[in-house]
């Protein structure tokens, strides 16, 4: 990767403050933390091709293939004149992506915003109720629960379905339990970020091993992607309040069915982070 830039990564769970955290970190003139990219998928496609390449396995210019993967983020961020780049993709912690990152860096660091799973589901359900063209409801018709469950239950089942986003996001952070990879992960609990922001930010800087910055927690700004409302069907999916304040997510919007079925989905994190 570009020796003038240091790359860090952000994974974690949706609706857990990652956009808020990026808006704060971007106050530091040396840091760029942007919206989600597709680098893992793009780099893995090249990596998987190398595994089918006779020339790669015969030992011809193997470093060239690795350099090709390294140049994807370098080319994307070539116009970003910041020393530290935090690339966001919620699957950076999956097994395949960790193998990929180990090829690219000997000091992989992944920031993981997290939040209780029922608050995440309730937040998505609230957004779906306010935005009729949301991406969740468009998928419901493709799952069995969409035909016989109450709407909000079907929404939760869709969000938590195998091969869907949240399942992959949870799988990604679960690899922090592996002693081989545990040192690569740093968890940022949403309630800590909004109630103890200075402490949370200092812990991130300690984890990244870079100089601290005196952040402000008012007049926060974030520029949404121009077409994200059309893509997600949600107008305020990545909005940030101007002042640091916890969103009031009431899990009573969820049924007992959803609470019982999904309430313990993040219990595996108990040894390493308190939600």
pLDDT, one tens digit per residue, over 223-269 is: 766 676 676 777 776 777 877 877 778 899 999 999 999 999 999 99
pLDDT above 90 for 117: yes
pTM score of the predicted model: 0.92
| Confidence (pLDDT) at 231 | 65
For residue 250, the tally of other CB atoms under 10 A from its CB is 10
6 or 141, which is more confident: 6
Domain boundaries, the chain: 6-269
pLDDT for the residue 163: 74
116/242 Cα distance (integer angstroms): 24
47 versus 34: which is more confidently predicted? Answer: 34
Q: What is the mean pLDDT of residues 135-141?
A: 89
Place of tokens 């002693």: 179
Report the percent of the chain where pLDDT is more than 70.
96
Cβ–Cβ under 8 Å, residues 14 and 65: no
The pLDDT assigned to 212 comes to 97
What is the percent of the chain with per-residue pLDDT over 90, rounded to a whole number?
Answer: 61
CB 85 within 8 A of CB 26: no
Strands of the sheet with 84-88, listed across from one edge: 31-36, 84-88, 6-10, 110-114, 185-189
Phi, psi of 265 (to 5 degrees): -65, -25
Q: 6-269 has which CATH code?
A: 3.40.50
- Alpha carbon dihedral 26, 185, 73, 41, in 10-degree steps, equals -120
């Amino acid at each position: 990767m570009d020796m003038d830039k240091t790359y860090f990564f952000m994974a974690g769970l949706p609706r857990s403050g990652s956009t808020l955290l990026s808006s704060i970190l971007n106050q530091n003139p040396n840091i760029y933390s942007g919206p989600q990219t597709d680098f893992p998928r793009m780099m893995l496609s090249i990596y998987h091709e190398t595994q089918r390449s006779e020339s790669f396995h015969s030992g011809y210019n193997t470093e060239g293939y690795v350099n090709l993967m390294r140049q994807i983020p370098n080319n994307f961020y070539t116009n970003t004149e910041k020393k530290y780049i935090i690339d966001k993709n919620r699957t950076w912690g999956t097994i395949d992506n960790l193998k990929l990152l180990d090829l690219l860096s000997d000091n992989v660091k992944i920031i993981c915003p997290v939040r209780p799973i029922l608050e995440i589901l309730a937040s998505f359900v609230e957004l779906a109720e306010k935005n009729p063209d949301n991406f969740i409801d468009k998928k419901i018709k493709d799952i069995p629960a969409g035909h016989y469950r109450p709407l909000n239950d079907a929404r939760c089942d869709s969000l938590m379905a195998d091969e869907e986003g949240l399942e992959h996001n949870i799988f990604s952070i679960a690899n922090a339990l592996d002693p081989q990879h545990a040192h690569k992960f740093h968890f940022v609990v949403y309630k800590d970020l909004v109630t103890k922001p200075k402490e949370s930010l200092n812990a991130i800087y300690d984890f990244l091993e870079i100089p601290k910055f005196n952040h402000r927690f008012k007049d926060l700004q974030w520029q949404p992607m121009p077409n994200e409302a059309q893509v997600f069907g949600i107008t305020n999916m990545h909005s940030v309040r101007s002042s640091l304040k916890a969103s009031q997510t009431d899990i009573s919007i969820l049924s007992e069915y959803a609470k019982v079925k999904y309430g313990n989905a993040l219990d595996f994190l108990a040894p390493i982070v308190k939600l």
